[in-house]
Chains A and B, each alone.
Chain A
Amino acid sequence: MQGLTPQQSTIQARLPFVAIFLILMAAYLVINLANFQFFPRSVRQELEKIGSSVTSTTLRLPAERGLIFDRDGEPLAFNIVQYRLGVSPALVADDEQLMKLMAPILDIDEFELFRKINSENVWEFVAGPISAEQGQAIAALDELSLGLEEIPKRFYPQGTLAAHVIGIVLDDGLVGTLGVEGAFNDTLSGRVLDLSISNVPFDLPEDRPAEQRGNDLVLTLDRDVQFWVESELKAAVEEYKAYRGTVIVMDPRDGDVLALANYPTMDPNRFLEIEDPSLLENAAVQDAYEPGSIMQVLTVASALDTGAITPYWTYNDIGLIEVGGQEIYNRQFQSHGTSDAATVLVRSMNAGVATIALEMGAEGFYSMLRAFGFGQPTGVGLFAEEPGDVKIPGDTNWNESTLGYNSFGQDLKVTSMQLITAFSALANDGIMRQPRIVRQVIGEDGVEEARPTTVRRVVSSETAAIVQDWMKRVVREGAPGAFMRGYAVAGKPGTAWISTAVGQEYGEHSTIVTFVGALPASEPQAVILVKLDRPQQYYGHAVAPHVFKRIADRLVILLEIPDDEVRGRLEAADAVTKAGES
């Protein structure tokens, strides 16, 4: 210690304490570091998350929803962007000028805007959703204090056209509901992505991956046919003062739904403004109802096919029959004497079909009902399709009289889609095609074609031909309103009473009228179902066939179906050409 100044001696004396202190601190840090490394996984992940939140932001990017087109490629649904506008009042340099620039773009009160711009809050919501044009005009102001947030929006350019077929999208464009938007939500919606965006300026910005996008759908709908069907349905509902109505047009050869309309309808672009929720119901697949005497055709076809009756079958009609203790009467209590099966259909004789159903027996009858597809959804591809309600022997509420009532379409519930699918099977030589609304799915991997598929053969070719022939007679003699010049039409009108929980709905106009017709009868290319709920006209044969005719008149032009004479000449010429070739 010699030669050291007192100051140096003091430093030397204190140095060990400092060294020990530093060693202890270092040890403490090392221990903490080690401790941090051995944290439980969940705690470590949480800490990592806190750490990464400083350097990055996670954005939840909704996938771009697939588009929807009609069969000719006309857009029915696609996406647009709207904006939500906010302001950071602290960053506003000149509030008065900003207010004057923004007010005409947003078309809002200047005073209200000024109040928001000068708010005490860090961030103040200004307006939204605002249109893309307004958003772009705001962005062009290049004002640092303004912030625009994108809101994806589904847009339906055709307005109310095919609203129930297309459906709607909820939750800022994320969840489809109703129509194909709901039924094909998984296909359309794509993949929602959580994209981590770096806040570090020299990290490469990430782009939205292309595979995130949803698939596009091409429907079987024909936009022009749909328009005319909707126009005629609206006119009919208004003319006959019906509560509501439904029309479906189907191509029986492949099960394609060419048009599906309900009226009253809704505008999917403004569905939030709808006050009556029943407007959102797609009655064609969701409203199961008692179809009435239109079912007589299917009862007769079933009996013919199972051999319970022959084409030459007759019976003596006295106007009523007792089934299971219940008396079933003909319309207006008429009796028709000796009648054949065709007459039973032409005169819509309830007692006649009840007799036929009894001859067929419950087992045969209900087996055929299932074969025609009743009691189960058709699988057409629309949201929340109802299976209907068919009581069968063994059910607590089934008794023998149920068979009698079911034979002419009472005491059972079916949807319009089930009915038209069953009648399309008859029109298509007895073969039931799978009804479908989606024709193609277009994705990243190309176009996936939905080929027409066959459900089953319901009745034999011979039965189908005989019943089609009888249905032509029904139109000629029983439903002249559906008669078309130049075209043979096979069809059947039906009127049904409306049952409620406490019995039958009473009232002068408490009926649902339906007409199903196929044209041209010899080679059906379209089956049309018209249903009017509680029209001011009493019976279906007086109302629905007229609507059918108005639609069919337009349909033969739109689908380019030549009349019977021209088609006959074409076929004859074709036969000659074929004979020449062979």
Chain B
Amino acid sequence: MSQTWFQHTFSRKRFRTRNQATALAILGVAVLLILGSLYLSQVASFAITNREIEDLISRRDQLKRQNEQLIGEIASFRTVPRLYARAVEIGFRPATNSDINYLLIEGYNPQRANAQLEARAGRQLEAAAPVYEETFSGWLERQFTLLRDQFESFGS
């Protein structure tokens, strides 16, 4: 009896087909779920990483701005009027010409090296200096030509 029922149940073609379809559907859904969850976890991971990068960029920009702010503050503290006022406060005064003594050391000229370099550069510049040769009539002629060209270009 029980065998008949079993055979009856499993020998039904239609039932077998439905069973396979159901199994395939379940399998498909499972695969989709796995793929979906993998995709979502990947996307979430991307989003988190990008958020972190954004935070780091924004933190870096903020630090940069703070740094600039500090440079500004330091520069404000180092302005000449402030330094001058502070120096006067602690007892300094501007040196005058008579306060300065120059000591000459035999055979040593601190400015010599610079002077030589400057002289050399000066000579080079002088060699390259064009002589001003333009005459007044030449200049007038040039101005007239320029004016004529302007009128001609205006006409055309």
Please report A residues at the B interface, Cβ cutoff 8 Å.
74-75, 78-81, 132-133, 136, 155, 157-159, 161, 201-205, 207-208, 223-224, 227, 253, 362-364, 366-367, 370-371, 392-394, 429, 431, 433, 452-454, 456-458, 485-486, 553-554, 556-557, 562-563, 566, 569-570, 573-574, 577
Q: Give per-residue flags for B9-49: 1 if the beta carbon is below 8 A from chain A beta carbons, else 0.
A: 00000000000000000000000000000000001001100
4 pairs of A and B residues whose beta carbons are closest in the complex: A157-B75, A202-B46, A363-B136, A227-B80
Which partner residue on chain B sits nearest A554 by CB separation?
B94
Which partner residue on chain A sits nearest B51 by CB separation?
A201
In the assembled complex, the CB of A142 is this many whole angstroms from the nearest CB of chain B, namely 12
Contact call A201/B125, Cβ cutoff below 8 A: no
With an 8 A cutoff between CB atoms, is B120 at the interface? Answer: no
Within 8 A of A (CB), among B85-135: 94-97, 100, 102, 104, 106-107, 109, 111-112, 118, 121-122, 125-126, 128-132, 134-135
**List of B residues within 8 angstroms of A557 by Cβ:** 95-97, 100
**List of B residues within 8 angstroms of A202 by Cβ:** 43, 46-47, 50
CA distance A79 to B65 in the complex (A): 9
Q: What number of B residues sit within 8 Å (CB to CB) of A?
A: 51
Known contacts A201-B51, A371-B132, A454-B125: does B72 contact A566 (CB below 8 Å)?
A: no
Known contacts A80-B68, A81-B65: does B100 contact A392 (CB below 8 Å)?
A: no
11 more contacts with CB within 8 A, not counting A75-B71, A431-B129, are: A78-B71, A80-B65, A81-B65, A157-B75, A158-B79, A161-B80, A223-B80, A367-B135, A367-B139, A569-B104, A573-B107
Contact call A364/B136, Cβ cutoff below 8 A: yes
**List of A residues within 8 angstroms of B51 by Cβ:** 201
Please report B residues at the A interface, Cβ cutoff 8 Å.
43, 46-47, 50-51, 53-54, 57, 61-62, 65-66, 68-69, 71-72, 75-76, 78-81, 84, 94-97, 100, 102, 104, 106-107, 109, 111-112, 118, 121-122, 125-126, 128-132, 134-137, 139-140
In the assembled complex, the CB of A287 is this many whole angstroms from the nearest CB of chain B, namely 26
Main secondary structure of the interface of A (DSSP, over half): mixed
In the assembled complex, the CB of A484 is this many whole angstroms from the nearest CB of chain B, namely 8
**List of A residues within 8 angstroms of B43 by Cβ:** 201-202
CA distance A532 to B57 in the complex (A): 53
**List of B residues within 8 angstroms of A224 by Cβ:** 80
In the assembled complex, the CB of A268 is this many whole angstroms from the nearest CB of chain B, namely 14
In the assembled complex, the CB of B63 is this many whole angstroms from the nearest CB of chain A, namely 11
In the assembled complex, the CB of A443 is this many whole angstroms from the nearest CB of chain B, namely 19
The number of inter-chain residue pairs (CB within 8 angstroms) is 130
In the assembled complex, the CB of B65 is this many whole angstroms from the nearest CB of chain A, namely 5
Contact call A458/B107, Cβ cutoff below 8 A: no
CA distance A429 to B76 in the complex (A): 41
Contact call B122/A253, Cβ cutoff below 8 A: yes
Contact call A203/B50, Cβ cutoff below 8 A: yes
Contact call B129/A370, Cβ cutoff below 8 A: no
Known contacts A80-B69, A158-B79: does B132 contact A457 (CB below 8 Å)?
A: yes
**List of B residues within 8 angstroms of A133 by Cβ:** 69
Contact call B125/A452, Cβ cutoff below 8 A: yes
In the assembled complex, the CB of A442 is this many whole angstroms from the nearest CB of chain B, namely 16
CA distance A80 to B81 in the complex (A): 22
Which partner residue on chain A sits nearest B107 by CB separation?
A577
Contact call A366/B136, Cβ cutoff below 8 A: yes
In the assembled complex, the CB of B125 is this many whole angstroms from the nearest CB of chain A, namely 5
Contact call A161/B104, Cβ cutoff below 8 A: no
**List of A residues within 8 angstroms of B126 by Cβ:** 429, 431, 454, 457
**List of B residues within 8 angstroms of A136 by Cβ:** 62, 66
Which partner residue on chain B sits nearest A155 by CB separation?
B72
Contact call A456/B107, Cβ cutoff below 8 A: no
Which partner residue on chain B sits nearest A133 by CB separation?
B69
Contact call A74/B75, Cβ cutoff below 8 A: yes
Contact call A573/B104, Cβ cutoff below 8 A: yes
Contact call B66/A367, Cβ cutoff below 8 A: no
In the assembled complex, the CB of B40 is this many whole angstroms from the nearest CB of chain A, namely 11
Known contacts A202-B47, A363-B137: does B72 contact A157 (CB below 8 Å)?
A: yes
**List of A residues within 8 angstroms of B137 by Cβ:** 363
CA distance A78 to B64 in the complex (A): 13
**List of B residues within 8 angstroms of A394 by Cβ:** 140
